[in-house]
């Protein structure tokens, strides 16, 4: 009892002086007491009243020293000043601490190391993810990807608490995410904790960084198809802003090659932050993106995302509170031939999240509440046949997560319980209980084995064309009436390490889907969308992924098998993203005050359904001529055929001169002919098969000017 009376709690959060983001795993020394911050930069310790010398150090920052006096409970916010340390050293240090405290050493990504990856357009978050292990990409013309056998729409994208659907431009060619405005992102490939829900594939949890509190700074980026302007600076000593605006001029660029592309896009992303005190922060994040395609009376379409999010976070003693109130809207308005063929789709989410966390020296408890109100509709007019379906479901969820670090292992157990209700004509009600567990056993200071198991549900369904090769965007609907939510266990076993030669991770995964939802390949009644459009089924994915990294080399390899069987089918079929082998190698080296690099990719061909025979059908008139002749096509069983293997090598150089940064490179140096799609040209007699290839030999440049 006397100990409780005289012991006080010193708690603090350590942040980067420029970005105001938490500095993960920094070392804290208080007299003779040593401890580490968590991944958010938070620490706490019990002390008797008196004076203490506190010292905080982290690789890449100046050491912080100060004498403090403890009288009662004390909360501190400590700002560390960045110094010029090589990025590779910071990454190595961060991986070591992540290895000790987190389930996966490759979950939290260092954005800076990916800003030099070769790209003829923008440094794109989704393209960065495509080189990760466990990921199967669609093609050069799509930012979509499959993670450990899941469909691309099973990946949930979160930006400062905002849920984004179809976060792409050019129909998924490039994403709406600007790497220059992000502070960090987590890429969780499976087995993630109870904190996350409504996603059965993967989680992309990205954070917008706070603007500079000291100086006004500007950045201009020019690439072959877009120009970007980024502005940031202080409103006061306690508040800041950052905003990035990007607009394409692809229409003008295409004219150089005698193409007419009546298309443009723009996006705006930013954040306003205000510190009420050293321990309390309030921020407003926003995003607005839109694509427009107009061509005479033939095509009239636009699509995009709107979003705004409010975030309030504070800490007291060893309690953290993080709350979000967000609204996002995904919309598609697609029309052909003066809207005689049109599809309108909207999927909006109003979400409120409360996350409480109790942090002790070697364990912490996280609990929270998620509430989401979804409003959406799907309307179509297919040459006079109209469909109008709408619904507004409500989802409530609570979660509890316990993490405990022992000397030899780390344990993370928890559960998520969700209730889903869609009222009205398409009434649907569902309750899910999703237990989850992660365990990591340390063989020594450099190697560990780990395992995770959990159950995952998803209530948002995305559907598009059956052919993943030419799909542009997903239409989104909530589960309704006869459609069941997607449900699958994640079963994972892995081995990882941080030896001197580099960091590595080896993971085996198994996902036996208890239910999946896919576009009905045999639909015949387009007037009955709720019965014919989507189908439930079973699915199975399994495989392994391998990742290795050191300062000059990164290797990722994925072996993935993915099958499904929809209701009414007797045979299992390969899914459209069952590529089997994907192998990426990134080599880089500092040279001439810049960085030179090479990226190599090999992938097995994608499965697809194709025409295996065709014949001419017509009525024969008395004079021997044909009335209304047309070609009747016979297709192979679903995804029975396989495209040729994919091969690509890119080279690049990124350098700096004064306040200019520049990049030059070549995409597909050896001009490999990677087949994109093939089709029959019936304008010829006899019809001939034509082929369209992916990106050819393509030089590029980028210019960045900061001032």
What pLDDT is recorded for position 5?
A: 41
What pLDDT is recorded for position 522?
A: 66
What pLDDT is recorded for position 626?
A: 63
Structure tokens at 668: 């597909």
- CA–CA distance, 44 with 76 (Å, rounded to integer): 10
pLDDT tens-digit series, residues 44-94: 787 888 888 888 887 778 888 888 888 877 888 888 888 765 555 555 556
What pLDDT is recorded for position 698?
A: 86
Structure tokens at 469: 């090769």
In what helix (H) or strand (E) does residue 495 lie, and over which residues does it extend? strand 486-497
Where exactly are the structural domains of the chain?
A: 2-80, 87-206
pLDDT at 538 over 70: yes
- Of residues 338 and 182, more confidence is placed in 182
* CA distances in angstroms from 555 to 105, 121, 504, 548, 587, listed in the order given: 15, 23, 9, 5, 9
pLDDT at 4 over 50: no
- Of residues 384 and 600, more confidence is placed in 600
User: What is the residue-wise DSSP string for 161-194?
Assistant: TEEESS-EETTTTEES-BGGGEEEEEEE-SS--T
pLDDT tens-digit series, residues 414-451: 999 999 998 877 788 899 999 999 999 999 988 999 99
* CA distances in angstroms from 123 to 183, 307, 662, listed in the order given: 14, 22, 13
How would residue 647 be classed by pLDDT, with cut points 50, 70 and 90? very high
- CA–CA distance, 290 with 208 (Å, rounded to integer): 19
What pLDDT is recorded for position 2?
A: 36
Average pLDDT over residues 137-148: 84
Chain centroid to CA 703: 26
What pLDDT is recorded for position 92?
A: 55
What pLDDT is recorded for position 306?
A: 93
Structure tokens at 59: 């690789």
User: What is the residue-wise DSSP string for 112-138?
Assistant: GGGTTS--SS--BHHHHHHTSTTEEE-
- CATH label, 87-206, candidates 2.50.20.10, 2.170.130.10, 2.30.29.30, 3.40.50.300: 2.170.130.10
Average pLDDT over residues 592-601: 87
How would residue 625 be classed by pLDDT, with cut points 50, 70 and 90? low
Chain centroid to CA 592: 34
pLDDT at 587 over 80: yes
Which of 386, 121, 422, 92 has the alpha carbon at shortest distance from 253?
Answer: 121
Architecture of the CATH domain 2-80? Sandwich (2.60)
Residue 343: count other Cβ atoms within 10 Å of its Cβ: 17
- CA–CA distance, 34 with 47 (Å, rounded to integer): 13
- CA–CA distance, 191 with 455 (Å, rounded to integer): 9
Average pLDDT over residues 572-591: 89
Yes or no: say if 288 and 328 are a contact pair by the CB < 8 Å rule.
no
- Of residues 97 and 529, more confidence is placed in 97
Residue whose entry in the numeric block shows the structure tokens 């992916």 = 694
pLDDT tens-digit series, residues 107-132: 777 777 676 676 666 677 787 888 88
pLDDT at 212 over 50: yes
pLDDT at 42 over 90: no
What pLDDT is recorded for position 35?
A: 75
* CA distances in angstroms from 556 to 93, 107, 130, 133, listed in the order given: 21, 14, 10, 5
Residue whose entry in the numeric block shows the structure tokens 């209730």 = 419
pLDDT at 467 over 70: no
How would residue 600 be classed by pLDDT, with cut points 50, 70 and 90? very high
Q: Rounded mean pLDDT of the chain?
A: 83
Burial class (CB in 10 A: 0-12, 13-18, 19+), 6: exposed
Please tell me the least confidently modeled range out of 117-131, 216-230, 363-377, 667-681: 117-131
Detail the DSSP E strand segments found in 140-256: 145-147, 155-159, 162-164, 168-169, 174-175, 182-188, 202-208, 217-222, 226-236, 239-248
pLDDT tens-digit series, residues 85-94: 555 555 555 6
pLDDT at 525 over 60: no
pLDDT at 549 over 70: yes
Structure tokens at 278: 């050293």
What pLDDT is recorded for position 443?
A: 92
Average pLDDT over residues 227-251: 88
How would residue 279 be classed by pLDDT, with cut points 50, 70 and 90? confident
What pLDDT is recorded for position 707?
A: 66
Percent of the chain surpassing pLDDT 70: 89
Yes or no: say if 376 and 478 are a contact pair by the CB < 8 Å rule.
yes
What pLDDT is recorded for position 1?
A: 34
Structure tokens at 639: 């995804």
Question: Residue 114: what are its φ and ψ, rounded to 5°?
Answer: -100, -5
* Partner residues linked to 492 by β-bridges: 452, 509
């Amino acid at each position: 009892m006397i100990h409780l009376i005289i012991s006080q709690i010193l708690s603090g959060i350590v942040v980067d002086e420029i970005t105001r983001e938490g500095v993960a795993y920094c070392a804290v020394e208080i007299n003779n007491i040593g401890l580490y911050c968590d991944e958010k930069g938070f620490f706490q310790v019990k002390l008797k009243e008196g004076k203490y010398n506190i010292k905080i150090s982290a690789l890449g920052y100046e050491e912080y020293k100060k004498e403090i006096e403890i009288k009662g409970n004390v909360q501190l916010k400590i700002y560390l000043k960045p110094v010029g340390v090589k990025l590779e050293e910071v990454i190595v240090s961060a991986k070591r601490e992540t290895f000790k405290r987190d389930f996966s050493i490759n979950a939290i990504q260092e954005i800076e190391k990916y800003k030099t990856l070769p790209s003829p357009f923008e440094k794109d978050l989704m393209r960065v993810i495509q080189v990760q292990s466990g990921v199967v990409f669609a093609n050069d013309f799509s930012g979509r990807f499959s993670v450990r056998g899941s469909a691309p729409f099973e990946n949930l994208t979160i930006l400062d608490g905002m849920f984004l659907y179809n976060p792409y431009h050019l129909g998924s060619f490039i994403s709406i995410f600007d790497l220059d405005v992000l502070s960090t992102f987590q890429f969780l490939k499976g087995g993630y904790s109870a904190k996350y829900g409504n996603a059965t594939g993967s989680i992309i949890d990205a954070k917008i960084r706070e603007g500079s509190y000291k100086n006004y700074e500007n950045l201009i980026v020019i690439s072959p198809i877009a120009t970007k302007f980024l502005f940031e600076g202080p409103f006061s000593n306690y508040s800041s802003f950052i905003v990035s605006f990007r607009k394409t001029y692809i229409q003008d660029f295409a004219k150089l090659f005698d193409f007419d592309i009546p298309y443009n896009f723009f996006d705006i992303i930013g954040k306003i932050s205000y510190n009420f005190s050293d321990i309390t922060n309030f921020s407003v994040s926003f995003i607005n993106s839109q694509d427009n395609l107009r061509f005479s009376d033939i095509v009239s379409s636009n699509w995009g995302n709107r979003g705004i999010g409010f975030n309030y976070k504070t800490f007291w003693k060893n309690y953290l509170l993080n709350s979000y109130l967000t609204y996002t809207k995904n919309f598609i308005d697609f029309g052909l031939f003066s809207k005689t063929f049109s599809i309108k789709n909207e999927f909006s989410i109003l979400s409120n999240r409360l996350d409480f966390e109790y942090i002790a020296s070697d364990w912490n408890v996280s609990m929270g509440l998620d509430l989401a109100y979804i409003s959406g509709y799907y309307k179509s007019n297919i040459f006079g046949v109209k469909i109008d379906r709408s619904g507004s479901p409500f989802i409530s969820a609570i979660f509890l997560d316990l993490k405990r670090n022992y000397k030899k292992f780390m344990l993370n157990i928890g559960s998520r319980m969700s209730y889903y209700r869609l009222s009205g004509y398409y009434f649907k009600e569902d309750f899910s209980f999703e237990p989850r567990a992660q365990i990591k056993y340390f063989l020594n200071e450099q190697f560990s084995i780990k395992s995770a198991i959990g159950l995952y549900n998803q209530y948002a369904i995305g559907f598009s064309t059956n052919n993943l090769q030419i799909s542009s965007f997903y239409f989104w609907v909530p589960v309704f009436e006869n459609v069941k939510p997607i449900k699958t266990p994640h079963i994972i076993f892995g081995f990882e390490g941080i030896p001197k030669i580099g960091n590595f991770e080896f993971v085996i995964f198994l996902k036996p889907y208890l239910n999946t939802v896919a576009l009905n390949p045999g639909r015949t009644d387009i007037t009955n969308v709720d019965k014919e459009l989507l189908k439930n089924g079973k699915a199975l994915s399994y495989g392994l992924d391998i990742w290795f990294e050191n300062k000059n080399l990164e290797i990722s390899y994925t072996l993935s098998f993915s099958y499904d069987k929809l209701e009414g089918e007797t045979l299992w079929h390969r899914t459209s993203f069952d590529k089997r082998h994907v192998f990426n190698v990134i080599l880089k080296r500092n040279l001439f005050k810049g960085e030179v690099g090479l990226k190599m990719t090999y992938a097995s061909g994608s499965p697809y359904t194709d025409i295996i025979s065709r014949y001419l059908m017509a009525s024969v008139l008395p004079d021997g001529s044909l009335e209304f002749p047309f070609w009747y096509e016979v297709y192979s069983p679903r995804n029975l055929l396989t495209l040729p293997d994919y091969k690509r090598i890119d080279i690049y150089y990124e350098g700096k001169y004064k306040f200019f940064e520049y990049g030059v490179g070549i995409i597909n140096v050896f001009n490999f002919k990677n087949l994109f799609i093939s089709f029959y040209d019936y304008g010829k007699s006899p019809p001939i098969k034509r082929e369209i290839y992916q990106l050819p030999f393509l030089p590029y440049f980028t210019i960045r000017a900061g001032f």
